[in-house]
């Protein structure tokens, strides 16, 4: 065992010893020339500047797995595709040991296009393209990663047709068509998907049910929030095959113009939604599977963003979505606290949020109407969590009645 460990360390050391770094433009005038000189495991290091014209668009890795790295990050290292079709195309069997890290891509049709090759894409920015990143039809499990990227002001942000793609910690906003489109299993984690004109996240899976995970995302102010679309309904004899395959968890879906979460064919088994906040959309849910009082931990409460108008989707400290203010054990959405709140004043219990901050029969009526009759939700959630257990349930109502009519304990202070 010890011999194997020593051998492994020596192999890693030998690989790093024999890999080379190719400098653009000080040694190689264009990015493509730097790549053409590289061998497996090498790095092509690109100095700050704007790279355009022949050799700096329609770039190919030639089947060599290497790292294309900017020396100073995306803000100062720009690939201007101009009128060309691609910024970079992966079409020669590259795998995820290939990497593109720290570039801004502008213009063109596809900034990065993956067909029979793939790569991890990290710390990049994509603007004014038809599609920022396009992953074409799958050739097995890709498992590539798109991480810490910004895709904005394109027609489409990311379109994925490859199995197993992970999109994490990305900002996808202000695209004139869609934010993320998928025709294959995709994990989307810790992403802000905002202000995309038609749809934020769309699963288009034909007659198949490809699983999608949307985890700790904030999906806000799009046309549709999350859209599940199967282009054809299943035949009646196949309906038994429909199962819950997709999961939306710890996600805020808010202020989208049309539906928050939409099933084109209204199949309740299309997805599961757990511990999410679906609020203030044109219509929150398409079907009744996730309605008020469901058992999945979902709510419909103002998430209390710090400043929606300026795109600050961090949370006020009294938001239900902050870690510790909800029962999920985690933040709901991408961001945690970014500013102070203030709707809850003094002790809890002003359930109807009256300006005089007095606990009276109006609060009891408001709570009963909301809890039992589907009335308006709590305008200030912390006011309704009288026993501070992060749940809004019958225990809070008993606490309020006991305080008002049976000399019970005073509600606990606001956060």
What CATH architecture does domain 342-405 belong to? Orthogonal Bundle (1.10)
Could you report how far apart the first and last alpha carbons of the chain are, in Å?
Answer: 55
398 φ, ψ to 5°? Answer: -60, -40
Residues in the chain: 415
Q: By CB neighbour count within 10 A (0-12 exposed, 13-18 middle, 19+ buried), where does 266 fall?
A: exposed
- Alpha-carbon span 120 to 345, nearest angstrom: 48
Helices (H), 53-191: none
- Alpha-carbon span 186 to 297, nearest angstrom: 24
User: What are the pLDDT digits (tens) for 125-143?
Assistant: 999 999 999 999 765 666 8
3-state secondary structure at position 281? coil
- CATH domain 18-316 topology: Pectate Lyase C-like (2.160.20)
- Alpha-carbon span 330 to 276, nearest angstrom: 11
In angstroms and rounded to an integer, the radius of gyration of the C-alpha atoms of the chain is 25
CB distance 191 to 334 below 8 Å? yes
Mind listing the pLDDT tens digit of every residue in the chain (415 residues)?
444 434 333 333 444 456 899 999 999 999 999 999 999 999 999 999 999 999 999 999 999 999 999 999 999 999 999 989 999 999 999 999 999 999 999 999 999 999 999 999 999 999 999 999 999 976 566 689 999 999 999 999 999 988 889 999 999 999 999 999 988 889 999 999 999 999 999 988 654 567 889 999 999 999 999 998 764 444 444 443 344 468 899 999 999 999 999 887 655 556 788 999 999 999 998 765 554 445 688 888 999 999 898 898 999 988 999 998 899 999 999 999 888 876 777 788 888 878 777 899 999 998 888 777 767 777 677 788 888 877 677 888 899 999 999 999 998 887 6
188 φ, ψ to 5°? Answer: -120, 115
Annotated domain spans of the chain: 18-316, 342-405
Indicate the pTM of the whole model. Answer: 0.81
Task: Work out whether the CA dihedral 265, 266, 270, 271 comes out positive or negative.
Answer: positive
């Amino acid at each position: 065992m010890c011999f194997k460990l020593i051998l492994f360390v020596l192999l890693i050391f030998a690989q790093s010893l024999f890999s080379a770094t190719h400098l653009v433009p000080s040694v190689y005038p264009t990015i493509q020339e730097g790549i053409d000189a590289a061998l497996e495991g090498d790095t092509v290091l690109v100095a700050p500047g704007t790279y355009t014209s022949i050799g700096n668009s329609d770039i190919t890795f030639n089947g060599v797995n290497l790292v294309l790295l900017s020396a100073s990050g995306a803000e100062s290292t720009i690939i201007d595709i101009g009128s060309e079709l691609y910024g970079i195309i992966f079409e020669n069997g590259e795998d995820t040991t290939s990497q593109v890290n720290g570039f801004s891509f502008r213009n063109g049709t596809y900034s990065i296009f993956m067909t029979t090759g793939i790569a991890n894409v990290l710390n990049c920015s994509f603007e004014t393209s038809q599609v920022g990143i396009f992953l074409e039809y799958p050739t097995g499990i890709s498992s590539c990663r798109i991480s810490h990227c910004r895709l904005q002001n394109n027609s489409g942000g990311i379109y994925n047709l490859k199995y197993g793609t992970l999109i994490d910690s990305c900002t996808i906003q202000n695209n004139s068509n869609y934010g993320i489109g998928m025709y294959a299993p995709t994990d989307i984690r810790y992403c802000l998907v905002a202000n995309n004109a038609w749809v934020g996240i769309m699963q288009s899976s034909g007659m198949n049910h490809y699983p999608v995970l949307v985890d700790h995302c904030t999906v806000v102010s799009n046309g549709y929030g999350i859209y599940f679309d199967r282009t054809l309904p299943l035949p009646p004899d196949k309906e038994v095959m429909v199962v819950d395959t997709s999961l939306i968890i710890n996600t805020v879906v808010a202020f989208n113009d049309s539906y928050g979460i939409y099933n084109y064919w209204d199949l309740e088994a299309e997805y599961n939604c757990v511990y999410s906040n679906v609020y203030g959309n044109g219509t929150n849910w398409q079907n009744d599977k996730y309605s008020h009082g469901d058992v999945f931990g979902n709510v419909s409460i103002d998430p209390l963003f710090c400043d929606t108008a300026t795109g600050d989707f961090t949370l006020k400290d009294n938001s239900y979505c902050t870690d510790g203010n909800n029962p999920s054990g985690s933040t709901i959405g991408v961001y945690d606290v970014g500013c102070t709140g203030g709707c809850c004043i003094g002790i809890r219990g002003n359930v109807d949020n009256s300006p005089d901050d007095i606990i009276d029969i109006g609060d009891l009526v408001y709570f009963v109407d909301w809890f039992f009759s589907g009335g308006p939700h709590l305008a200030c959630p912390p006011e309704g969590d009288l026993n501070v257990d992060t749940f809004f349930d019958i225990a809070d109502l008993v606490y309020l009645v006991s305080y008002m009519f049976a000399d019970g304990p005073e509600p606990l202070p606001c956060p």
